[in-house]
Structure 1
């Protein structure tokens, strides 16, 4: 008779349920980190008011510890984006002010892409191809089209930041886009806006001084003009043209 002790045993109920639940752990950590960050009041240090008060101290520290400061800045940017703190624009302005538009923009591009990828992977781990298996009709076609042309669509969305940065990171995971396309579209798509905001940050000192003299806190709207916003949209429209043309050609061939 076979030895019962050597026979494989079916998994217990706890093991079977642990695997599905474990996929939500990364999202749970992100939500916990976001709540903890707000509880600690980190949002009070990620605004133009704090930059106005501490700009001389921060710049002196960066000048004395450039490499270490760059590492700290990138790390903070990664954590902020990964935990979905809505401070991407502010931090980019910080980067331009502290490191100059070129170095600051490069640091932001690396930090933003890394942080976005972490959030993307966490969301995909929890929900996977959520839309692919649970929707039908027009939404299903939209999901399939988005997935097939992931780089083009994501690139355009990144060029014209109509939607919050963290929303795009989460939505891309729900559309079941590959990590490679997500990273490439994010990195190259955010470059124009990143360097534009870093350039604004490089000259933010005069804006901060003017706001202080006026007895109010500086706002991003003091830096971002209507012309810059329109330029972002125009750039996105131009980038979208090849994708639209490709879709039209496919439909004509299919018909």
Structure 2
């Protein structure tokens, strides 16, 4: 019993330290009003300076941007959209897409794990009414459902991260489906950032037609899965003797 008790105590201490660290980061973000820097006006005003810094110190700029993006996404604080536009504005389309794709997925996975192991009950209480449909969809369609959610920008990504942490989905599955599912939206926003001079507001990035296209792409895997199930149920896939 002693080794088990010591192990549990160690786990509890680790959780407490993680919670304290998260609270400290939240306090710093809101207390210092860091969110005021994550807006389109500041990005446009500082674009030339950040590009110059990247040219002079590429490794530091890349590492700093990557870590900041992961932190913003993992903490589920406002700013991921501006950070994505900044990726294109500073690093260009290809490098920006690569950085944002991995940083956003790492951050989302950290939020997912935090929800699963630390704040499961709290998230359930706060977002319980939004989780019913997600649980039902995931139970029915698995990774296809998560892929569809990632492709529809109308669904807040931070809600998806927290909600999926309360489901039995594997962490590895959550990671790769999220990275693939978010890639199309990532390219759109990074490309908009690379042409920042033509963007007057974040709403300019996603047109109704583009939103509709994303929704259609997201629905297609679910529709295909449903069609296969119906064909299997009707016996069309059974071999004839």
Partner of 1:156: 148
Distance 1:230 1:9 in 2: 58
User: CA offset at residue 250 of structure 1?
Assistant: 6.4
Of the three residues 98, 102, 105, the one matched with 1:106 is: 98
Of the three residues 156, 160, 163, the one matched with 1:171 is: 163
Partner of 1:225: 207
Of the three residues 20, 32, 35, the one matched with 1:40 is: 32
Of the three residues 50, 61, 85, the one matched with 1:58 is: 50
Partner of 1:119: 111
In structure 2, relative to structure 1, the CA distance for the partners of 1:115 and 1:142 (3 Å cut) is closer
Distance 2:231 2:138 in 1: 17
In structure 2, relative to structure 1, the CA distance for the partners of 1:53 and 1:20 (3 Å cut) is same
User: CA offset at residue 206 of structure 1?
Assistant: 3.7
Distance 2:55 2:33 in 1: 27
In structure 2, relative to structure 1, the CA distance for the partners of 1:220 and 1:142 (3 Å cut) is closer
Distance 2:102 2:2 in 1: 48
Tell me if structure 1 keeps the 8 A contact 2:141–2:222: no
In structure 2, relative to structure 1, the CA distance for the partners of 1:166 and 1:142 (3 Å cut) is closer
Tell me if structure 2 keeps the 8 A contact 1:84–1:166: yes
Of the three residues 59, 75, 87, the one matched with 1:83 is: 75
TM-score with structure 1 setting the length = 0.76
User: CA offset at residue 150 of structure 1?
Assistant: 2.9
User: CA offset at residue 246 of structure 1?
Assistant: 4.3
Partner of 1:196: 188
Tell me if structure 2 keeps the 8 A contact 1:31–1:83: no
In structure 2, relative to structure 1, the CA distance for the partners of 1:175 and 1:15 (3 Å cut) is closer
Tell me the alpha carbon deviations over residues 134-154 of structure 1, each in whole angstroms, 9 at most, x when there is no partner. Answer: x9xxx5x97365146432111
User: CA offset at residue 11 of structure 1?
Assistant: 8.6
Tell me the alpha carbon deviations over residues 205-251 of structure 1, each in whole angstroms, 9 at most, x when there is no partner. Answer: 244xxxxxxxxxx4202333223222222221223322333454566
Tell me the alpha carbon deviations over residues 164-215 of structure 1, each in whole angstroms, 9 at most, x when there is no partner. Answer: 11111000011121101100111100111101111111111244xxxxxxxx
Gaps of 5+ in 2: 236-241
TM-score with structure 2 setting the length = 0.80
**Residue correspondences, number:** 228
Distance 1:229 1:248 in 2: 29
Distance 1:221 1:144 in 2: 31
Tell me if structure 2 keeps the 8 A contact 1:81–1:112: yes
